[in-house]
Amino acid sequence: MGELGQEVCSESFLMDTRAKLFVAGHRGLVGSAIVRKLIESGFENLVLRTHQELDLTRQADVEKFFSDERPKYVIVTAAKVGGIHANNTYPADFIAINLQIQTNVIDASYRNGVKKLLFLGSSCIYPKFAPQPITEEALLTGPLEPTNEWYAIAKIAGIKMCQAYRLQYKWDAISGMPTNLYGPNDNFHPENSHVLPALIRRFHEAKVSGAKEVVVWGTGSPLREFLHVDDLADAVMFLMDKYSDLPHVNMGSGIEVTIKNLAELVKEVVGFEGELKWDPTKPDGTPRKLMDSSRLANMGWKPKISLRDGLIGTYKWYVENYLQ
Ligand SMILES: NC(=O)C1=CN([C@@H]2O[C@H](COP(=O)(O)OP(=O)(O)OC[C@H]3O[C@@H](n4cnc5c(N)ncnc54)[C@H](OP(=O)(O)O)[C@@H]3O)[C@@H](O)[C@H]2O)C=CC1
Ligand SMILES: C[C@H]1O[C@H](OP(=O)(O)OP(=O)(O)OC[C@H]2O[C@@H](n3cnc4c(=O)[nH]c(N)nc43)[C@H](O)[C@@H]2O)[C@@H](O)[C@@H](O)C1=O
């Protein structure tokens, strides 16, 4: 038994490289990193469908896909995702699409003999003023951050659905809660993306156009924890292999920075030489969101990529791939 009393998996996931595995959302930031890691680890039977090929909000289509393909493992990264502005502007999409995707995929996986499923939530599931660093036990202990409560409610429902299916059906569904992520294949939309890709794009465009200043949202005081998506993918493989228990698991780097320091770092990495200007009419969101990831650390996993190195690599990826 593990530290939390979890069942030790009878068969190693990492050795089961011929098993059929479905990564839902494989073209996104997280899904694409997981696919890279799976291929690197020798997995040779991946089942992948683009959004166009299979809309996961359509229950009948999802049912048919699972009964035709019958994957052994499922990793759920498909979701309606965005930064603070997108979450605040499209609350209906964030709650409805996420509830639909996760409900369809989790239920169809159980009904079609999937052996193990991993669902990804987000650090925004925790109360806005949760004690820091935030442990898994802080869930449902206080009001949520208003800019993302719709998305958070859907994610909390996903965790609870995995737990309910484990309790009622003895089915191996687990949940990981990543902190703010970044890396190759991120969303670089000027308004709807997260802060790190948004700033890479804004500083790059300002450098190229010779602009004198770049506007950054909010006050610069909020603290955020960042994890490179390749580290996250590594942690997903680790949990698939080692973890089978009821509680969700925080997945963070333990390193936090203020948005002001992040903006200065992006400015330096991109090589923009003008000024920073703050726009306090834009929301700051949660003041601080540092997760306590000691549950994952105590199982033996730790991140490898520093924020500076990860940022340098992501900027290179943006220039060489996104802009081409
Ligand atoms: N990015 C981050 O900072 C964080 C992400 N997470 C979680 O990680 C997971 C992945 O996020 P991330 O990779 O950033 O998100 P992305 O937006 O990069 O990727 C999501 C993927 O899901 C697909 N998708 C969306 N809707 C549907 C649908 N109806 N049917 C089929 N596919 C669909 C998208 O396809 P298409 O683009 O074609 O619509 C896309 O490929 C999510 O659960 C998210 O909550 C958690 C914490 C932080
Ligand atoms: C992962 C997480 O992502 C979202 O929460 P968030 O952590 O607030 O994410 P964010 O990256 O969008 O912003 C972080 C901070 O950065 C500031 N900021 C400055 N300038 C820009 C900017 O240009 N764009 C953005 N997006 N933010 C900016 C911004 O004002 C805020 O203070 C959730 O909705 C939720 O979906 C979720 O789970």
In degrees to the nearest 10, what's the CA dihedral of 33, 34, 40, 44?
-130
User: Model confidence over 256-293: pLDDT tens digits?
Assistant: 999 999 999 999 999 999 999 999 999 999 999 999 99
User: Model confidence over 142-199: pLDDT tens digits?
Assistant: 999 999 999 999 999 999 999 999 999 999 999 999 999 999 999 999 999 999 999 9
Kindly state whether residue 232 falls inside one of the protein's structural domains. yes
HSE on the CB side for 202, CA within 13 Å?
A: 25
Q: Are 251 and 297 in contact (CB under 8 A)?
A: no
Whose tokens are 């909000």? That residue is: 57
The pLDDT assigned to 10 comes to: 54
User: Model confidence over 47-59: pLDDT tens digits?
Assistant: 999 999 999 999 9
**How many angstroms separate the alpha carbon of residue 271 from the centre of ligand 1?**
30
- Report the distance separating Cα 261 and Cα 179, nearest Å: 18
CATH number at residue 105: 3.40.50.720
Q: Ligand 1: which atom is nearest the Cα of residue 26? A: 41
Q: Are 192 and 82 in contact (CB under 8 A)?
A: yes
Mean pLDDT of 112-123: 98
**How many angstroms separate the alpha carbon of residue 84 from the centre of ligand 1?**
15
Q: How many domains does the chain have?
A: 1
Mean pLDDT of 130-149: 97
- Pairing label, strands 256-258, 249-251: unpaired
Q: Are 280 and 215 in contact (CB under 8 A)?
A: no
What stretches of 170-273 show up as alpha helix (H) in DSSP? 195-209, 229-242, 259-270
In degrees to the nearest 10, what's the CA dihedral of 149, 154, 158, 159?
10
Q: Count other C-beta atoms under 10 Å from residue 183's C-beta.
A: 25
Q: Provide the residue range defining the domain that includes 242.
A: 21-186+225-254+290-304
Which residue ranges have their beta carbon within 6 Å of ligand 2?
83-85, 87, 122-124, 147-148, 151, 180, 193-195, 198-199, 216-218, 222, 224, 259, 282-285
Kindly state whether residue 216 falls inside one of the protein's structural domains. no
- Strand intervals (E) in the chain: 21-24, 46-47, 73-76, 116-120, 172-178, 180-182, 213-217, 223-228, 249-251, 256-258, 275-279, 288-289
Among residues 151, 182, 243, 318, the one annotated as catalytic is: 151
- Pairing label, strands 249-251, 213-217: unpaired
**How many angstroms separate the alpha carbon of residue 17 from the centre of ligand 2?**
37
pTM higher than 0.90, yes or no? yes
CA 276-279-280 angle, to 5 degrees, is 130
Tokens of 138: 């802080």
User: Which residue in 226, 111, 94 sits closest to 165, CA to CA?
Assistant: 111
The pLDDT assigned to 2 comes to: 42
- Report the distance separating Cα 204 and Cα 214, nearest Å: 10
**How many angstroms separate the alpha carbon of residue 78 from the centre of ligand 1?**
4
- Pairing label, strands 116-120, 172-178: parallel
User: Model confidence over 52-109: pLDDT tens digits?
Assistant: 999 999 999 999 999 999 999 999 999 999 999 999 999 999 999 999 999 999 999 9
Look over the chain and give the mean of its residue pLDDT values, rounded to a whole number: 96
Greatest Cα-to-Cα distance within the chain, rounded to the nearest angstrom: 61
The pLDDT assigned to 6 comes to: 47
Kindly state whether residue 260 falls inside one of the protein's structural domains. no
Kindly state whether residue 3 falls inside one of the protein's structural domains. no
Tokens of 55: 């809309």
DSSP 139: T
Active site residue 315: no
- Report the distance separating Cα 124 and Cα 147, nearest Å: 10
Distance (Å) of CA 143 to CA 36, 128, 272: 37, 6, 39
Axis-axis angle for helices 307-317, 259-270 (nearest 10): 50
CA 307-323-211 angle, to 5 degrees, is 80
Tokens of 119: 């669902």
Strand partners, 25: none
- Pairing label, strands 21-24, 213-217: unpaired
Indicate if ligand 1 lies below 6 Å from the C-beta of 305: no
